[in-house]
Amino acid sequence: MIWYPYAQMKTLDAPLKIVRAEGVHLYTEDGHDLIDSVSSWWSVIHGYSHPEINAAISGQLEKFAHVMLGGLTHEPVQKLSDKLAEWLPGDLDYCFFSDSGSVAVEVALKMALQFNTNRGSGRDTILALEHAYHGDTFKAMEVGDDEDYHFAFGSSGEKKRGVVHIPTEIPALEKAFAEYGDRLTCIIVEPLLQGAGGMRMYDVSFLERARQLCNEYDVLLIFDEVATGFGRTGNRFVSDLVLPDILVLGKALTGGYIGHAVTVANKRVWDGFISDDPTHALMHGPTFMGNALACSAALKSIELFEREDYMLKIRRIEEITKREMAGFSDPRVREVRIMGGCVCIEVTDAKTLDGFRKFAYERGVFSRPFLKYMYAMVPYVISEGELVTVLDVMKEWFT
């Protein structure tokens, strides 16, 4: 029996069985052709079955699929870490690979906490955002603030000990630093766009102020760009606008091909672990970190991103989306939000979206609204016609 995600198994609707996927299309066993409007949880930026990524993986497969990084290394992981060091802004040069976004968040938090322990600091508090989502492992749930995902584990008390949640407002940020500043190890944010917490968008000035305060109070700034990285907000990385100390990437890292993630530290954080004292080492090592197939897919994915000017593609998606959504309104809609390759229609009552998934399916679109949010995060290779179809289906639901 398969235990499916985020679902009550007693009442689960049968999932669609996919037999083939190509470009932005999913093909079901019973003959449906669906445009994937959510890019398999926001990861498949080049679409499915991309010939060059397929070839990159096959080529590596002929050499070997995986060797551990404990005592061993290999060319794909070396090349990927070199590429990331060159490609990412500032001195975000030190790559710790892992197998999922949640684990990469764990690693980032562990780095920040141990960075402080290593320097003999007793700081013990983490600043995080209201409505944050950072994954489903335990520390990620603690810095997360989403009862809709983690209700079974309580909302306060023990679970949140040592974590302070604030809204994305500068006065609240300043107040938190004034109150907790000398106890803070780090602040972790999904920069500009909070995904699973409801596609909430906020201004870069909040991040700029966070950077200033982190400098002033000697606190590490962590950007969880698992969802926002690789262009989703219309910026290559939000880290291009404001430089964090630790950056977390996942999802689109491998073009959505193979679960892999990376926690990238700057020189200062790295130096905090370099010591003659063995207890200052970072004690973490997922079995599949730096998997050779994943690294090969990631290298090809980044090559395509640069070579085919994906930032232009994303600007086009944003322009078309703004054009198509202009003038759209409905009394049941609370707000329409658009940023880069993300559009969200937030309704006032979650019941308004009951049945939308089936409605979209019948019109050739795979959609997965959640709570009060109907959204699209399409693969960047989508054609104008396909994107207009997705947006039309979203609007038609209200007419």
Ligand X SMILES: Cc1ncc(COP(=O)(O)O)c(C=O)c1O
| Residue with smaller CB distance to ligand X, 98 or 118 | 98
Instruction: Catalytic residue, from 139, 251, 300, 372: name it.
Output: 251
Please, what's the b/e burial string for 247-286 (b: 16 or more CB within 10 A of its CB; e: otherwise)?
A: bbbbbbbbbbbbbbbbbbbbeebbebeeeeeeeeebeeeb
Nearest distance from C-beta of residue 220 to ligand X, angstroms: 17
Q: Would you call 48 a catalytic residue per the annotation?
A: no
**Hey, what amino acid is at 310?**
Y
Q: Would you call 358 a catalytic residue per the annotation?
A: no
Nearest distance from C-beta of residue 136 to ligand X, angstroms: 7
| Residue with smaller CB distance to ligand X, 249 or 391 | 249
Instruction: Catalytic residue, from 36, 99, 224, 245: name it.
Output: 224
Nearest distance from C-beta of residue 259 to ligand X, angstroms: 6
Nearest distance from C-beta of residue 274 to ligand X, angstroms: 28
Judged by DSSP in three states, 357 sits in: helix
Nearest distance from C-beta of residue 240 to ligand X, angstroms: 17
| Residue with smaller CB distance to ligand X, 140 or 393 | 140
Q: Where on the chain is the footprint of ligand X (CB under 6 A)?
A: 100-102, 105, 133-135, 190, 195-196, 224, 226-227, 250
| Residue with smaller CB distance to ligand X, 190 or 245 | 190
**Hey, what amino acid is at 271?**
D
Nearest distance from C-beta of residue 251 to ligand X, angstroms: 6
| Residue with smaller CB distance to ligand X, 40 or 125 | 40
| Residue with smaller CB distance to ligand X, 196 or 382 | 196
Q: Would you call 224 a catalytic residue per the annotation?
A: yes
For 56, 100, 337, 397, the CA distances from 256, given in Å and listed in that order, are: 14, 11, 24, 29
Q: Would you call 4 a catalytic residue per the annotation?
A: no
Nearest distance from C-beta of residue 249 to ligand X, angstroms: 10
Q: Which one, of 13, 11, 37, 16, lies nearest residue 25 by Cα?
A: 37
Instruction: Catalytic residue, from 133, 257, 373, 375: name it.
Output: 133
Strand spans (E) along the chain: 18-22, 25-28, 33-36, 94-98, 125-129, 163-166, 184-189, 193-194, 200-201, 220-224, 246-249, 261-265, 333-339, 342-347, 365-366, 373-376
CB atoms within 10 A of CB 347: 22
| Residue with smaller CB distance to ligand X, 123 or 134 | 134
Q: What is the DSSP string of 108-155?
A: HHHHHHHHHHHTT----EEEEETT----SSHHHHHH---HHHHGGG-S
Which residue do the tokens 């302070």 mark? 164
Contacts of 227 (CB under 8 A, 6+ apart): 42, 190, 193, 195, 196, 251
What is the number of residues in the chain? 399
Positive or negative, the Cα torsion across 96, 101, 103, 105?
Answer: positive
Residue nearest to ligand X (CB): 101
Q: What residues act catalytically?
A: 6, 133, 224, 251
